[in-house]
Amino acid sequence: MLDLPPLARFGGRVATGLLDVTDDPAALDSAGFWAVCADFEGRTVCARFADVREEPVPAPVPGTWRGPAAHEWTSSLDRAAYTAGVRRIREHIAAGEVYQANLCRVLSAPVAPDADVDALTALLARGNPAPYAGTIRLPGHGVETATASPELFLRRDGRVVESGPIKGTGRTEADLLAKDYAENVMIVDLVRNDVGRVCATGSVSVPDLCAVEKHPGLVHLVSTVRGELREDVGWAGLFDAAFPPGSVTGAPKSSALRIIDALETAPRGPYCGGIGWVDADRGAGELAVGIRTFWIERPADGGAVLRFGTGAGITWGSDPDAEWEETELKASRLLAVASGAYEVSEGTLT
């Protein structure tokens, strides 16, 4: 196992000095600073750290990250299987079982046993900066995750909670279709319902609907859902109501999850889960939807595998080949960074 100390990075903060680890989200309402990694399948790791300080992500150091070659990536669903899955979801929609479902695939490639996810973080911060970037390194607890997520899952400030679902992706704003706007509105309705289960009656609002946000290499449609938590609800209750994130499941969520389970051939892990931090002393926290996310798994044979997830929301208006291309678009820049297509020169990426 890689012998590196536990740490967590979020924005310009780094947390070190691991105190304790739990799988109970209720601990997030106790005290201290916590890093949180919740897998899509429901496994949650909450790690409390003793020391939190302001520290920018270090500049990449040549040779500290040796990523896989571009040809070494394999996909849990190839193009034929993925497009067949899109067609199958359209059949479910035609039968009235679901309005939309997110279909994802997991890409995998071998990396060196000494691969350090924090070294990959330095590359991501410069090759694909993101508003909810974060890293959690807990080798002894099976968590080595780096996200360049553009999507807010849950932000909490006292009793006020927000979610920022993304639906609709294109290279430019001109690429966004009516299908993308419809998809976003459907997911906003789902998130309003999720948050409304634990918020005060009448407090849930949508301050922004289908705003266009620009990110490296693509644009997204992003909405904001806001509410005020009931006094009897903490992080555990909020998780129960909102997890897994609606934007990466579908609507209705229960039907979408059943369809996802039947069509996807690999667990999503931290991809499409929740990754972020909670400052229990301040009653604040911010969790990203675990998209644009890498994680390292270490099989018992002593090797290491780097994984990355990509997917698309499928509606009746979906074209199977176009949805495949959307998954390629979402992955291309991130895989280039991880595979070393961006060269480090004098502390910058060229």
Tell me the catalytic residues: 151, 167
Contact between 145 and 338 (Cβ < 8 Å): no
Span between the terminal Cα atoms of the chain, in Å: 33
148, 304, 314, 123: which is closest to 218 by C-alpha? Answer: 148
Residue with tokens 């044979």: 301
Phi, psi of 129, deg, nearest 5: -60, 145
Nearest 10 degrees: CA dihedral of 20, 269, 28, 130? 110
**DSSP states along 239-298:** HHHHPSPGGGTEESHHHHHHHHHHH--S--TTTTSEEEEEETTTTEEEEEE--SEEEEE-
CA distances from residue 267 to 139, 260, 264, 330 in whole angstroms, order as listed:
19, 10, 8, 19
Q: How far apart are CA 333 and CA 331, in angstroms?
A: 6
Name the token pair of 259: 């369809």
The helix or strand, by DSSP H or E, that contains position 10, with its residue range, turns out to be: strand 7-10
CA distances from residue 306 to 100, 112, 241, 310, 331 in whole angstroms, order as listed:
29, 9, 31, 14, 14
The radius of gyration of the chain's CA atoms, rounded to the nearest angstrom, is: 19
Q: How far apart are CA 48 and CA 51, in angstroms?
A: 9
Task: Spell 201-212 as b/e; 16+ CB within 10 A means b.
Answer: eebbeeeeebee
Contact between 92 and 101 (Cβ < 8 Å): yes
